[in-house]
Amino acid sequence: MTAINLEQHLTDNNCDEQLKDLIILLSRQAPKIKSVFAHNQDSAGTLNTHGDEQAELDKVADEIIINALRESNHVKTIASEEQSDIIEIITPYEGYGITLDPLDGSSLISVNLSVGTIIGIYPNGNILQEGKNMVASMYILYGPLTILVYTIKNGVHEFVMDENGEFTILRENITMPQGNIYSSGGLKKDHKEKHSKFIEKLENDGHKLRYSGSFVADFHQILRYGGIFSYPSLKNNENGKLRLLFEANPIGFIAKQAGGEISTGFKDILDIIPKSIEDKVPLYVGNKNKIKNLEEHMKKEKIDEKDKEIIEENHINSTNYEVPIYESKQ
Ligand code: P6P
């Protein structure tokens, strides 16, 4: 029996025709992006709006996907990590809003590690709304295999690309097991005491560190094997490093559809109303029980010295004090 391809799977799951066309169109950019890996390995010598150095590949992948979306007639707005402003497209009808990280972890290509494309799809062309309002989310992971993971709120499904650029089913209805791996981003010296103590607990409970520097690759391991990924609030960077729109929301949407959770350490990230496309957020994503344990830990653990100053200065009720995201303490 021939393996079901992505288009058939979307049809079998009663996916809206426009949305199906859009997901298929996005999947067709994967072989084009993969084909340029070998010859675009240098830095572009420019910075993106987040101040990150752009690899040539970031710009090439960005251009490939945005050009395809412009021709699709299904897209009203595009926010890309590699673009400074939201791209507005005149469409004959409403059209979707797209958030795009064209090549997350691109600096790893020159050392042949896995990198990914992360895409969030919003209704009514509005990408500045809570992540929980997405209609679909997907990522493409360029590793030993090129795989595509998607959800249209019908569970989480994984496909593998063949030599013709066709995606066929690999795993259906993926659920996140308990697992015993963890990832922890940022420098240890910049970790706040609460986070360090949480990591210590994980290690004492037998969790093994798995961290590649590519969020998509590290998350995919958590999706399949369980565990928890973190890029926390740091002493020198209140909101951590990862972007709310381009990384946290689309990955968190998939995590939840697989029975997992995503949290700032205090609240569900998919409930956050973005203030701008630049927003960053402290991030923990993984197995539901581990996220629950984390949030209990963060609420009861004694507060960091710096937080204590803030509480005293502002007479905040310390029992439910939450690290303010979007407001730097500096
Ligand atoms: P660090 C890649 O630049 C990225 O945005 C994520 O893919 C990854 O999880 C993180 O940053 C790695 O950051 O500080 O370990 O280099």
DSSP string across 171-190: ESS-------EEEE-S-GGG
- Tell me the CA–centroid distance for residue 249 and ligand 1, in Å: 16
Ligand 1 closest atom vs CA 229: 9
- Choose, from 100, 103, 270, 283, the residue flagged as catalytic: 103
Q: Does any domain span residue 129?
A: yes
Q: Does any domain span residue 28?
A: yes
Residue by residue, pLDDT tens for the chain (330 residues) are 678 999 999 999 999 999 999 999 999 999 999 999 887 677 777 777 667 777 788 999 999 999 999 999 899 999 999 999 999 998 777 899 999 999 999 889 889 999 999 999 999 999 999 999 999 999 999 999 999 999 999 999 999 999 999 999 999 999 999 999 999 999 999 999 999 999 999 999 999 999 999 999 999 999 999 999 999 999 999 999 999 999 999 999 999 999 999 999 999 999 999 999 999 999 999 999 999 999 999 998 656 666 666 666 666 665 555 544 433 333
Asked if residue 185 and residue 167 are part of one domain, the reply reads no
Asked if residue 188 and residue 94 are part of one domain, the reply reads no
- CB atoms < 10 A from the CB of 110, how many? 13
Ligand 1 pocket member 185 (CB < 6 A): yes
- Choose, from 104, 218, 238, 261, the residue flagged as catalytic: 104
Domain tally, the chain: 2
Number of residues assigned to the chain? 330
Nearest CA to ligand 1 atom 2: 105
Asked if residue 280 and residue 193 are part of one domain, the reply reads yes
Provide the domain limits for residue 252: 181-312
For residue 103, indicate whether it is catalytic.
Answer: yes
- Residues 301/195, Cβ–Cβ less than 8 Å: no
Asked if residue 140 and residue 238 are part of one domain, the reply reads no
Asked if residue 191 and residue 77 are part of one domain, the reply reads no
Asked if residue 198 and residue 159 are part of one domain, the reply reads no
- Tell me the CA–centroid distance for residue 260 and ligand 1, in Å: 21
Q: Does any domain span residue 21?
A: yes
CATH number at residue 304: 3.40.190.80
Ligand 1 pocket member 104 (CB < 6 A): yes
Q: Does any domain span residue 1?
A: no
Asked if residue 160 and residue 34 are part of one domain, the reply reads yes
- Tell me the CA–centroid distance for residue 235 and ligand 1, in Å: 17
Q: Does any domain span residue 93?
A: yes
pLDDT digits (tens, 9 = 90+) for 82-116: 999 999 998 777 899 999 999 999 889 889 999 99
- Tell me the CA–centroid distance for residue 218 and ligand 1, in Å: 10
CB burial readout 245-256, b (16+ within 10 A) else e: bbbbbbbbbbbb
Q: Does any domain span residue 41?
A: yes
Q: Does any domain span residue 317?
A: no
CATH number at residue 62: 3.30.540.10
Ligand 1 pocket member 295 (CB < 6 A): no
Asked if residue 154 and residue 25 are part of one domain, the reply reads yes
Nearest CA to ligand 1 atom 12: 213
Q: Which of 282, 330, 281 is nearest to 310 (CA)?
A: 330
Asked if residue 202 and residue 137 are part of one domain, the reply reads no
Asked if residue 13 and residue 115 are part of one domain, the reply reads yes
For residue 82, indicate whether it is catalytic.
Answer: yes
Asked if residue 14 and residue 60 are part of one domain, the reply reads yes
Q: Does any domain span residue 142?
A: yes
Asked if residue 215 and residue 124 are part of one domain, the reply reads no
